[in-house]
């Protein structure tokens, strides 16, 4: 179009439609055109979740300020307060608008649009921007349009891509996956690519993700090769059980089928029960059944001397994060916990659930931990009891805000797990409220605990032993704590001190706490 100027202009209605602009030059951009810089009287901020400016190249949420902002949403004060927030970088009283869009700043100061913040997904333990995957798909040979979603099957998430071929082009899903693998990390490559005639659109002409077709099973039957050796048959059965799929072939990739870091731990635990000496690192390095079986068969001799087994019960040194919590919280340490609520089926067996909870405490050493005050502010005497007092499942009816699992924990006497069976009194299903002190649980731990609780409950309900249904125990927690402390004392993390000292400098003025 000679004589015409091409502009890419971005902006939401809440900022008077136009907020940023980029004008094309003589050369086409090598990738999707950026959205440029702010137009007159507009300010653009790229911020993280704590409203801190993001450096060049780092993705953050786009906030807009300046003269173009709307006053808010008519007759919706709550939504107005949530989206139009105080501008810490502007004059007193000024506001900025949370766009919900993810962008990153280019070296020249311009902005690149990445996607929506509600399109950020977590697959295999990695946070993925679907917009980045879609942009990479559109950059593949013969692709005109693309979409990406994260789907869940039996609780396991996988990345799925959808493409529309360009006119006269033919696209092969596996060829697209190979092409993506040259530029994207493996966890961002969709496990399945579906070819469509057109993407489903809503009445506004935008992608309707809810109408994208079901991609079907992740296993590509045409490539499946049946296990050939005893080790392959054992591992194929383990992966099929862990991933909850019907069959796994020797060339199928564990992570493409929905595997992640937590499931890899389960694979390793079950493989060791069968006498196969594997580690989580092996699962990442050898991602197919064939490769993993070869690794197990050639690992008859341990690659490094394993430490002598240590009793699960008795005194143990604090881990670094436990030192930090006692040093930071002091006398308030008992208040730091994590809570989680699970909606229950209508035919719940409360007695079987209580037995399963006790199976859980007996199986996980951390839940039998005890902490008594030490001489220093950041110290405590930590020990693991051989047998904790029996855990009782509390019953509660009424408002959820009154449930008794809230409040400080007695770290010296326990228990560090609380469970409340809550009847909301509305005739609907009950809710199980769980609370565990943060000294012994984190966000990753919950998934392991819930899966083990489910196994133990099903076994108890069927009249069996819940503890027998749980996977084999790994290294004792006390042993891990001792090895971690020894590694740190021997200088194992010294090479990282300089980086963290620069990345997290000491605050010049401490925040007031009272």
The pLDDT value recorded for residue 303 is 45
Contact 250, 236 (CB under 8 A): yes
Poorest-pLDDT segment among 5-9, 272-276, 390-394: 272-276
- Angle among Cα 311, 316, 321 to the nearest 5 degrees reads 130
Residues 95-100: what's their mean pLDDT?
94
What is the side-by-side strand order in the sheet with 314-316?
314-316, 380-384, 369-373
Residues 452-460: what's their mean pLDDT?
90
The pLDDT value recorded for residue 221 is 41
> Which candidate, 195, 245, 240, 187, places its Cα nearest to that of 215?
195
Does the structure show a pLDDT above 70 at 107?
yes
pTM of the complete model beyond 0.75? no
Continuous H helices in 187-288: 230-243, 261-273, 280-285
> Which candidate, 1, 93, 112, 2, places its Cα nearest to that of 46?
112
Going by pLDDT thresholds of 50, 70 and 90, the confidence category of residue 353 is very high
Going by pLDDT thresholds of 50, 70 and 90, the confidence category of residue 117 is confident
Does the structure show a pLDDT above 80 at 474?
no
Going by pLDDT thresholds of 50, 70 and 90, the confidence category of residue 312 is confident
pLDDT tens-digit profile of 46-92?
Answer: 999 899 999 998 989 999 999 889 999 998 898 899 999 999 999 99
Rounded to whole angstroms, the Cα distance separating 5 from 322 reads 60
Cα→Cα distances 399→216, 320, 339, 435, 457, Å: 42, 38, 16, 17, 26
Q: Which residues contact 510 (CB under 8 A, 6 or more apart)?
A: none
Going by pLDDT thresholds of 50, 70 and 90, the confidence category of residue 154 is low
> Which candidate, 409, 396, 461, 459, places its Cα nearest to that of 435?
409
pLDDT tens-digit profile of 484-497?
Answer: 889 988 888 899 88
Question: Residue 10: how many CB atoms within 10 A of its CB?
Answer: 24
Q: What is the overall mean pLDDT for the chain?
A: 84
The pLDDT value recorded for residue 399 is 62
């Amino acid at each position: 179009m000679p004589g015409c100027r091409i502009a890419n202009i971005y902006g939401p209605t809440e900022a008077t439609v136009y907020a940023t602009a980029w004008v094309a030059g003589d050369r086409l951009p090598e990738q999707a055109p950026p959205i440029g810089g702010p137009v007159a009287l507009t300010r653009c901020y790229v911020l993280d979740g704590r409203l801190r400016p993001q450096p060049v190249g780092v993705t953050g949420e786009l906030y807009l300020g300046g003269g173009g902002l709307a006053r808010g949403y008519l007759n919706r004060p709550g939504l107005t307060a949530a989206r139009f927030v105080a501008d810490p970088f502007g004059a007193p009283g000024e506001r900025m608008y949370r766009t919900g869009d993810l962008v990153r700043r280019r070296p020249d100061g311009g902005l690149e649009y990445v996607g929506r913040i509600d399109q950020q997904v977590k697959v295999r333990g990695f946070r993925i921007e679907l917009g980045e995957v879609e942009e990479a798909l559109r950059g593949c040979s013969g692709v005109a349009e693309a979409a990406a979603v994260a789907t869940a099957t039996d609780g396991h998430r996988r990345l799925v891509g959808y493409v529309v071929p360009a006119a006269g082009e033919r696209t092969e899903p596996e060829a697209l996956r190979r092409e993506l693998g040259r530029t994207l990390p493996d966890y961002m490559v969709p496990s399945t690519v579906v070819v469509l005639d057109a993407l489903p659109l809503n009445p506004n002409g935008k992608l309707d993700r809810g109408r994208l077709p079901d991609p079907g099973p992740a296993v590509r039957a045409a490539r499946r090769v049946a296990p050939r050796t005893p080790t392959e048959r054992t591992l194929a059965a383990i992966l099929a059980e862990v991933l909850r799929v019907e069959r796994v072939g020797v060339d199928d990739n564990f992570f493409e089928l929905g595997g992640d870091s937590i499931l890899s731990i389960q694979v390793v635990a079950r493989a060791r029960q069968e006498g196969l000496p594997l580690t989580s690192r092996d699962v990442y390095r050898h991602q197919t059944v064939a490769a993993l079986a070869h690794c197990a068969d050639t690992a008859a001799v341990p690659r490094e001397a394993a430490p002598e087994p240590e009793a699960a019960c008795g005194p143990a040194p604090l881990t670094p994060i436990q030192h930090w919590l006692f040093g930071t919280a002091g006398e308030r340490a008992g208040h730091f916990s994590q809570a989680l609520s699970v909606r229950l089926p209508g035919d719940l067996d409360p007695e079987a659930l209580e037995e399963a909870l006790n199976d859980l405490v007996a199986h996980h050493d951390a839940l039998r931990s005890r902490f008594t005050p030490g001489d220093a502010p950041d110290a405590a005497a930590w020990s693991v009891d051989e047998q904790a007092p029996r855990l009782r499942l509390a019953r509660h009816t009424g408002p959820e805000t009154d449930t008794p699992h809230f409040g400080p924990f007695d770290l010296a006497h326990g228990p560090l797990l609380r469970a409340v069976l809550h009847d909301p009194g509305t005739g609907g299903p009950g809710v199980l409220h769980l609370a565990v002190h943060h000294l012994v649980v984190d966000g990753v731990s919950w998934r392991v605990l819930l899966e083990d609780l489910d196994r133990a409950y099903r076994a108890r309900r069927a009249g069996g032993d819940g503890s027998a249904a749980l996977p084999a125990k790994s290294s004792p927690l006390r042993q891990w704590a001792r090895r971690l402390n020894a590694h740190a004392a021997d200088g194992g993390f010294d090479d990282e001190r300089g980086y963290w000292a620069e990345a997290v400098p000491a605050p010049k003025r401490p925040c007031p706490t009272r």
